[in-house]
Amino acid sequence: MTDEEHLDADGDLGFAPAVVDDTGRGKDARPKAATAAPRRRRGGLRRRASSLAVLIGALTAVGGGYAMIAPSSGADDSIMTSENIEAGRQLFNNSCITCHGANLEGVPGRGPTIVGTGSASVYFQVSTGRMPAPVQGAWELRKIPKFNEQETLQLAAFVQSVGGGPQLPAATENLRAGPEALGEGGELFRLNCASCHGAAGKGAPLSAGKIAPDLNLSTDLQMYTAMQSGPENMPVFANNQITPEQKRAIIGYVQAMKESKDPGGASLGRIGPVAEGLLIWTVGLGVLMVSILWIGARL
Ligand code: HEC
Ligand code: HEC
């Protein structure tokens, strides 16, 4: 599936210049063939040729513009080099093959197939230290990662090359929307994530003894790839459900929430403004009562 997308993208980018070149040559050839024709006709041809040139120019500009923005919304193909894939294969054979099999087909009783999970899922699992899994359970817990960033991307490239699936977003891409999208991000977070991760992203227990973890340590790319791959009990949020732009808004919101140092005083567990008001109300009333009693006692 991703290979097709890859081909499409290449087709779009690769074709634009070729069309311009060919037609450009055709434009030169045409007046030569019409040398015998009367002047008026040649003028018309020239005019038509120049409007054709303008059209081609415009199309090229549009194509060029597309080429410039296309990679920012697309997948990251830059990691898919043969060196990365080969290095990833080595790492996979050393650390993953016993549970996931030589062709990612899985090993009964040890690990599931990871055909089609894609580079996004591998990045999430390996960069959060969940994979390689310990021999006995607890793979759902975040741990100190065993591989560095480069090795993680190599593993991701290898698994992607064998089985396809949802790809990592371009590494250079800004995955965090700006402050103008905080409102939208907050709304999307409350709608899609808060039911499991809690309103403040601090994590919460789920049924059957599972937990939705605290998002405090998650990086932008880990959040993005978590949404793309839906680890364990978490649903997959594909791009047709939550667009890449909306994913950026959610990430911007969560990171801003983590970074804010509770302006206005103590966080009171982030239960919100009601709590602060209530606190002032009760403490204030208490002080008032004590003063009344004190005044009464003095009289
Ligand atoms: C000891 C066995 C074991 C080893 C070693 C191991 N895995 Fe896994 N892996 C698992 C199990 C079990 C799961 C399923 C966990 C779950 O349900 O969340 C899993 C899940 C995954 C997933 C997510 C699959 C999905 O459908 O979302 C990926 C990706 C993955 N492993 C990659 C790797 C990579 C890459 C390595 C090597 C660096 C590795 N694993 C090493 C057992 C293992
Ligand atoms: C149905 C419950 C559920 C919903 C809804 C949900 N998640 Fe999760 N999420 C989980 C569980 C369970 C895990 C742990 C998975 C694992 O460890 O394999 C998780 C893991 C994560 C992680 C990894 C945290 C870490 O350890 O670094 C991130 C990031 C995350 N979720 C973000 C989100 C975002 C953003 C949304 C909303 C778009 C969302 N989740 C919606 C259940 C949920």
The answer to whether 237 touches 247, Cβ cutoff 8 Å, is yes
pLDDT value for 281: 74
Same domain flag for 107 and 40: no
Report yes or no on 35 lying in a domain.
Answer: yes
CA of 45 to the centre of ligand 2 (A): 64
Helix/strand/coil percent split, the chain, to 5: 60, 5, 35
> Pick the residue with more confidence: 70 or 199?
199
Q: How confident is the model at residue 110 (pLDDT cuts 50, 70, 90)?
A: very high
| H or E element, residue 17 | helix 2-33
Q: What is each CA distance from 127 to 190, 263, 270, in whole angstroms?
A: 26, 32, 29
Report yes or no on 253 lying in a domain.
Answer: yes
Does residue 224 register a pLDDT over 90?
yes
Q: Which ligand is nearest to the CA of 175?
A: 2
Q: Which of 33-37, 86-90, 117-121, 146-150 has the lowest mean pLDDT?
A: 33-37
Residue 104, Ramachandran bin (φ over 0: left; ψ between -120 and 50: alpha; else beta) = left
Q: How confident is the model at residue 168 (pLDDT cuts 50, 70, 90)?
A: very high
Q: How confident is the model at residue 288 (pLDDT cuts 50, 70, 90)?
A: confident
Mean pLDDT of 36-42: 50
What is the pTM for the complete model shown? Answer: 0.72
Same domain flag for 192 and 252: yes
175 lines ligand 2 (CB under 6 A): no
Same domain flag for 66 and 96: no
Same domain flag for 107 and 67: no
Same domain flag for 40 and 106: no
Does residue 81 register a pLDDT over 50?
yes
Report yes or no on 225 lying in a domain.
Answer: yes
133 lines ligand 1 (CB under 6 A): yes
Same domain flag for 66 and 91: no
Same domain flag for 10 and 50: yes
Does residue 18 register a pLDDT over 70?
no
Residue 8 to residue 91: CA distance in whole angstroms:
31
Q: How confident is the model at residue 17 (pLDDT cuts 50, 70, 90)?
A: very low
Tell me: the pLDDT tens digits for 174-196? 899 999 999 999 999 999 999 99
* Three-class secondary structure of residue 175 per DSSP: coil
Same domain flag for 217 and 252: yes
pLDDT value for 6: 44
- Kindly give, in sequence order, each residue whose CB lies less than 8 Å from that of residue 166, ignoring residues fewer than 6 positions away: 2, 117, 118, 119, 120, 121, 228, 229, 238
Same domain flag for 88 and 158: yes
pLDDT value for 42: 57
Report yes or no on 99 lying in a domain.
Answer: yes
pLDDT value for 287: 87
Same domain flag for 149 and 204: no
Same domain flag for 187 and 159: no
Q: What is each CA distance from 211 to 143, 159, 233, 285, in whole angstroms?
A: 15, 28, 9, 40
The four Cα atoms 239, 240, 244, 245 give a dihedral, to 10 degrees, of -170
CA 131, distance to chain mean position in Å, is 20
Residue 155 CA, closest ligand 1 atom number: 35
* 7: containing domain: 2-73
Report yes or no on 116 lying in a domain.
Answer: yes
Average pLDDT taken over every residue of the chain: 79
pLDDT value for 64: 47
Number of domains in the chain: 3
Report yes or no on 271 lying in a domain.
Answer: no
Report yes or no on 235 lying in a domain.
Answer: yes
Residue 214 CA, closest ligand 2 atom number: 24
Peptide bond into 205 cis (omega under 30): no
Same domain flag for 34 and 51: yes
Tell me: the pLDDT tens digits for 229-243? 999 999 999 999 999
CATH (domain of 219)? 1.10.760.10
Residue 121 CA, closest ligand 1 atom number: 29
Residue 91 to residue 256: CA distance in whole angstroms:
36
Residue 110 to residue 101: CA distance in whole angstroms:
10
| H or E element, residue 212 | strand 211-212
- Which of 117, 133, 163 is at the close of a domain? 163
- Which of 56, 73, 90 is at the close of a domain? 73
- Which of 16, 39, 73 is at the close of a domain? 73
Q: How confident is the model at residue 78 (pLDDT cuts 50, 70, 90)?
A: confident
pLDDT value for 260: 79
120 lines ligand 1 (CB under 6 A): no
Read off φ and ψ for residue 205, nearest 5 degrees: -70, 145
Report yes or no on 267 lying in a domain.
Answer: no
Percent of the chain predicted with pLDDT > 90: 52
231 lines ligand 2 (CB under 6 A): yes
Q: Partners of 211 in the beta sheet?
A: 205
Read off φ and ψ for residue 262, nearest 5 degrees: 50, 65
